[in-house]
Amino acid sequence: MNGVSNGNVLQGRTAIITGASQGLGLAIAMQYVAAGASVIICARDEGMLSEAADVLKRSASNDQVISHIVADVAESESVDALVDFAIDKMGRIDILVNNAGIYGPKGPTDSVDWAQWVQAINVNLLGSVLMCRAVITNMKRQGYGKIVQLSGGGATNPLANLSSYAVSKAGIVRFIETLAIEAAEYAIDANAIAPGALNTRMLDEILESDPETVGKEFYERALQQKVSGGAGLEKAARLAVFLGSAGSDGITGKLISAIWDPWDELDRYKADLEDSDIYTLRRIVPSDRGFDW
């Protein structure tokens, strides 16, 4: 069965979605509400967050809980307060969608501001780990849970002049692979999403930068993406629904591309994916490229 095609695949489920005041986070929250979930959204801007919550409430049914709280995923006290708030509002947490993220400083590693470099690691990598740590005890107690982690191009390709972003995104994918093994006995699945090139505030951030700072080739690709419209938010949001649904039970420890992978059919290939290194980060050796040295 294709879990994504059923509009009620998250009926009765509860979810925390971080960085959900705009862009992909809000698109995911909208898809979650449409699929029947109760959601707590968080971000750092109270005004935008409140507006996003109002949008979600207008499309929710009476039995869905829709709420919001200002939170900074890089701060442990803020994360604990968020999770306590969610438990108080919803009683349990079935799904965590780690979407909050930033680009960080732009430019050669030896010239960027060190505090900004560290902050990108704190938000993208450590903030996501903090969120997982905060919810997973409840998920273990329930004997079920879903962790959906947003990754990005930096996980699988070097990104010159965006080193903190690339490092954080590669690091979080390996963390998700590791967490999936730790949590498997509790029926908790953890997966990462490569959403594709999206036209969000992060793209605008690149276009507002000096082409020399981010690199002329990268800047030109960003310009082309702006004109073409990019990958669009819908596929990544729908993949986040699939990975939060029962249709993906048993699929865990994977980095899945919203654009390139046949994720809406993966429930047919669970046996092949189990104990396989498909959709994972691995080292390439000479024999993989036809060499015998």
For domain 3-196+232-260, the question of CATH label 3.40.50.720 is answered with yes
Question: Which sign, positive or negative, has the C-alpha torsion 28, 128, 222, 20?
Answer: positive
Element (H, E) at 189: strand 188-194
How do the domains of the chain map onto residue ranges?
3-196+232-260, 198-230
- What was the pLDDT predicted at 205? 64
C-alpha gyration radius of the chain: 19
Q: What is the pLDDT along the chain (293 residues), one digit of tens a residue?
A: 333 445 799 999 999 999 999 999 999 999 999 999 999 999 999 999 999 999 999 999 999 999 999 999 999 999 999 999 999 999 999 999 999 999 899 999 999 999 999 999 999 999 999 999 999 999 999 999 999 999 977 788 888 899 999 999 999 999 999 999 999 999 999 999 998 765 566 666 667 777 777 777 777 776 666 776 666 789 999 999 999 999 999 999 999 999 889 999 998 999 999 889 999 999 899 999 999 99
- What was the pLDDT predicted at 1? 33
Query: Chain centroid to CA 248: how far?
Result: 16
pLDDT tens by residue, 260-287: 899 999 989 999 998 899 999 998 999 9
Q: Check residue 279 and give left, alpha or beta (phi > 0: left; psi -120 to 50: alpha).
A: left
- What was the pLDDT predicted at 5? 45
Is there a contact between 55 and 204 (Cβ–Cβ < 8 Å)? no
Complete DSSP assignment for 31-62: HHHHTT-EEEEEES-HHHHHHHHHHHHHH--T
- What was the pLDDT predicted at 199? 55
pLDDT tens by residue, 46-68: 999 999 999 999 999 999 999 99
Q: Bridge-partner residues for 257, per DSSP?
A: 194
- What was the pLDDT predicted at 134? 98
| pTM to 2 decimal places | 0.91
Residues annotated as catalytic are: 165
Q: Is 16 helix (H, G, I), strand (E, B) or coil?
A: strand
pLDDT tens by residue, 124-148: 999 999 999 999 999 999 999 999 9
Nearest to 242 by CA among 265, 211, 223, 226: 265
Rounded CA separation 260/244 (Å): 19
Question: Which sign, positive or negative, has the C-alpha torsion 209, 212, 214, 216?
Answer: positive
Element (H, E) at 214: helix 211-214
